[in-house]
Amino acid sequence: MRGTGSSTAVTRNTLRQQIADALRDEVLAGRLRPGQEFTVKQIAEQYGVSATPVREALVDLSAQGLLDSDQHRGFKVHRFSVDDYRGMVEARSLIVDGIFRRVDLRGSTGVHGRALESVRRRAEEAARAARVGDLNILIGYDLRFWHELSSVVANRYISDFLHRLRVQAWVFAVPYLRSDTELRDWLWSGHEDLVDAVTSGDAEPVRAVIRAYNDHALAWADRLER
């Protein structure tokens, strides 16, 4: 009996994660838009599952800052402001700069050379998608790229925190980018430059690429307000 209960818990937790991932993808794709409301019942019917794993998945996404919960009305996609976005950029800038000030890049490159090969493949795909303006492809590869790169040079708590910030930043940006006639001009494509800088083992070029990346993001935020 104990084994059956454990199996049920694992299945429910797996379903909970699958629903959370699916809904996160819906938000990132812009199909669930900021301010859009829905209930546990609606999502459960949409995916053909029971309410319990759906409720748990929605609570998880709320804890990640992607949804707002209302006891009487259900859930809605969180609406980030331009100031929120600037705060995300500032936070990740401070953290990433701190990482590369203290990490031994030459040692990291030597120890994690194989991991950097995987990061480079992500970089190539992300940069290619950015250059052609393929937002759907870019988001996935960009998130994987940064998550894998930060996992190489930082501990998993920092890596997971930065990943959460980047997901939130994309959630804010997607609705604006999808309607932007100058989309390709505002999609950052310096992923390969960053991997080259990390591979060189010199922290200063790395920080220079990241500064350019953050300046690009802030310039886009300024453009939104104008």
Query: Please, which residues have CB within 8 angstroms of residue 188's CB and are 6 or more apart in sequence?
Result: 130, 213, 216, 217
Phi then psi for residue 46, to 5 deg, are -60, -40
Ordered by start, the domain boundaries in the chain are: 2-77, 82-225
CA-based nearest residue to 67, from 24, 13, 31: 24
Reply yes or no on domain 2-77 having CATH 3.40.190.10: no
This prediction has a pTM of 0.88
What sign results for the dihedral spanned by CA atoms 149, 105, 161, 171? negative
**Best CA proximity match to 65, nearest among 175, 169, 168, 176:** 168
Candidates 2.60.40, 2.60.120, 1.20.120, 1.10.3470; CATH matching 82-225 = 1.20.120
First to last CA, the chain: 63
User: Tens-of-pLDDT digits for all 226 residues of the chain?
Assistant: 344 454 555 466 789 999 999 999 999 998 999 999 999 999 999 999 999 999 999 999 999 999 999 877 899 999 999 999 999 999 999 999 888 877 666 555 444 567 788 999 999 999 999 999 999 999 999 999 999 999 888 889 999 999 999 999 999 999 999 989 999 999 999 999 999 998 888 888 998 999 999 999 999 999 998 8
